[in-house]
Chain A
């Protein structure tokens, strides 16, 4: 069974750093890209960026470029999303999602993690 299991909820202060994780199982982790999607409270879905776990090549939405870093450790089938300096506006639910196909131009997502709620408050 394909699963993406994310790390637990986090409460942080502005300016702090954070790394959240997404562990894949039940499939070949290096064969499918992983994307990260943000959902702010009561709002819609925003694509942040993606990583190819086989070589850690990434690309980002311009809206998130420079503010977050996506990485992966293929030895433990885990992708990460990290911030070096959180802002209150980073408060949101963050989902990892597996690309449905291995075709590099196709961006749709068949398996999703359960979400990690990040709360940033002083």
Chain B
């Protein structure tokens, strides 16, 4: 299985801050990389697919970039409602695998 490693595992930031999460794949996955947001007690929500495509209805402060093995997820201006755990997920090879998650908290 392809291993996905996110960093950091947790992050504390202030409202209005720019927040960046990275995801590294154990092998080249081209751009087959997605990002999800999971709020406590809720199902995950798709934010970004194919590394940089914003899902319909998702605010433009969310963005993604990268290809190959290194990917970045950015929130340009952190809002209180962005408190959640974020996961990357690859689907270049089956089974699809997720990163371990990055828990984002408000400072």
Residues of A within 8 A of B (CB): 37, 44-47, 59, 61-63, 95, 97, 100, 105-110, 112-115
Contact = CB atoms under 8 A, between A and B. Distances in A.
Contacts of B52: none
B73 to A, nearest CB: 14
26 contacts: A44-B87, A44-B98, A44-B99, A44-B100, A45-B38, A45-B89, A46-B98, A47-B98, A61-B94, A61-B95, A63-B95, A95-B44, A97-B43, A106-B91, A107-B94, A107-B96, A108-B34, A109-B44, A109-B46, A110-B46, A110-B55, A112-B44, A112-B45, A113-B43, A114-B43, A115-B43
Contacts of A115: 43
B64 interface: no
Nearest to A45: B98
B49 A100 contact: yes
Given A44-B100, A113-B43, 20 more contacts: A37-B44, A44-B99, A45-B36, A45-B89, A45-B101, A47-B96, A61-B94, A63-B95, A95-B43, A97-B43, A97-B44, A106-B91, A107-B94, A107-B96, A108-B91, A109-B44, A110-B46, A110-B55, A112-B43, A114-B43
